[in-house]
Amino acid sequence: MIVDEYIKDQGMLFPELNKNKVSEEAEFEIEDLFNDIEDFLSNDEYAGYLRGNIAKYLHRWRYKNGVEDLKKARWYLEALIQQQSRK
């Protein structure tokens, strides 16, 4: 599941999530956050949200967080692919 990959990547950003293993509580919080965003937006709006994040991370990777931002762009691209596949 795409959320599982995102949670693994968050270990770098949020050390309190226990570097290699994320607590079940934190996992549900992150999954709920993305479900809430997707539920709140129409399909087109959610696609735009994902596209915006892809563009953001692809634009800034050289100036800010390097490979970490490329991984985030990939994560949002995978989410967009999944969302479009469900149509």
Instruction: Please report, in tens digits, the pLDDT of each residue of the chain (87 residues total).
Output: 455 555 555 554 555 444 445 556 655 666 677 778 888 999 999 999 999 999 999 999 999 999 999 999 999 999 999 999 987
pLDDT at 69 (0 to 100): 94
**How many Å apart are CA 73 and CA 59, to the nearest integer?**
10
> What pTM, to 2 d.p., does this model score?
0.66
pLDDT at 28: 62
Predicted local confidence at residue 34, as pLDDT: 74
Residue 57 gets the label, from left (phi > 0), alpha (psi -120 to 50) or beta, of alpha
pLDDT of residue 80: 94
Q: Which pLDDT score is estimated for 32?
A: 74
Q: Please report where in the chains the tokens 């965003």 appear, as a residue.
A: 37
Q: How many residues does the chain have?
A: 87
CA-CA distance, 42 to 62, in Å (whole number)? 32
| 66: its two tokens | 């390097």
